[in-house]
Structure 1
Amino acid sequence: MRFVLNVIWLVLCGFWMAIGYVVAGVICCILIITIPFGIASFRIANYALWPFGRTAIRKPTAGAGSTIGNVIWVVVAGIWLAIGHVVTGVAMCLTIIGIPLGIASFKMVPISLLPLGREIVPSDELVYRSAATPMA
């Protein structure tokens, strides 16, 4: 089922959202000081192409640098990419078959706003990570 949803996603909106992230990444890489933003943007472009079966989690090692970088990212490109995901999600939810795609687009809004300090992992790996973490 993930494969079918990913193919539908790719055809209807994934390709266009990934282009938005690639454009933001290229602009960030042209400006030398914002290369970390460009790398994060390319990573999210890959996620935007094939989102089902993967999820974004917070890195436990993320510190104050990623927080400061995320504030800059929101102002420069994050808000526009998040608006793109919201508009795409609303358009997808207009049809019954598009509702899972719209929900996936809404789930990508947080990572489009705050990409630094996040890691994209397979959903299956998330289950293993949480099971391996001891309870306090």
Structure 2
Amino acid sequence: MGCLGNFLWFLFGGAVSGLSWAFMGCLWCITIVGIPVGMQCFKFASLSFFPFGKDVQYGGGAGSFLLNIIWLLITGLPMALEHLLLGVGLCMTIVGIPFGLQQFKLAKLALLPFGAEVC
């Protein structure tokens, strides 16, 4: 069931979400200082392309907190808003509710990506 869910997800919103994470990763990787942030974006782009069957564990310390603050101010709010709007749009239909819930999971991840680990 996870393979079917991931395939349908990719067609109905996963490609857009994953490409936005990959695009942000490319923008962050332009500077040498932003490469660790860009690598985190690429990791979450793969999650965004195929999220079914995966879980996100949150944790982290002071370094994660500082990076999350910088991320939130520069990139996090627009990405979270994108996932939130896609999630609301998908939840308007009964069939789209599981996909909308995945978008909400990604919206939370877009707000606080550092210290998060994909399981």
TM-score bracket for this pair, using the shorter chain length: over 0.9
Distance 1:107 1:19 in 2: 17
1:126 alignment partner in structure 2: none
1:117 alignment partner in structure 2: 115
For these two proteins, the number of residue pairs brought into alignment is: 119
1:28 alignment partner in structure 2: 28
The TM-score normalised by the length of structure 1 is: 0.84
Higher-Rg structure is 1
Is 106-115 or 38-47 further displaced after alignment?
A: 106-115
2:87 alignment partner in structure 1: 89
CA shift at 1:35, angstroms? 1.1
- Provide the secondary structure at the position in 2 that maps to 1:57: strand
CA shift at 1:66, angstroms? 0.7
Write the deviation string for residues 3-46 of structure 1: whole angstroms up to 9, x where unpaired.
Answer: 21111110010011111111100010001111111011001100
- Provide the secondary structure at the position in 2 that maps to 1:119: strand
Structure 1's unaligned 5+ residue stretches are 122-136
Alignment of structure 1 residues 12-91 onto 2, 5 Å: 12-59=12-59, 62-91=60-89
CA shift at 1:98, angstroms? 0.4
Which residue identity does 1:105 align to in structure 2? Q
The TM-score normalised by the length of structure 2 is: 0.96
Quote the RMSD (CA, aligned, Å). Answer: 0.9
Structure 2's unaligned 5+ residue stretches are none
Identity score, percent? 35
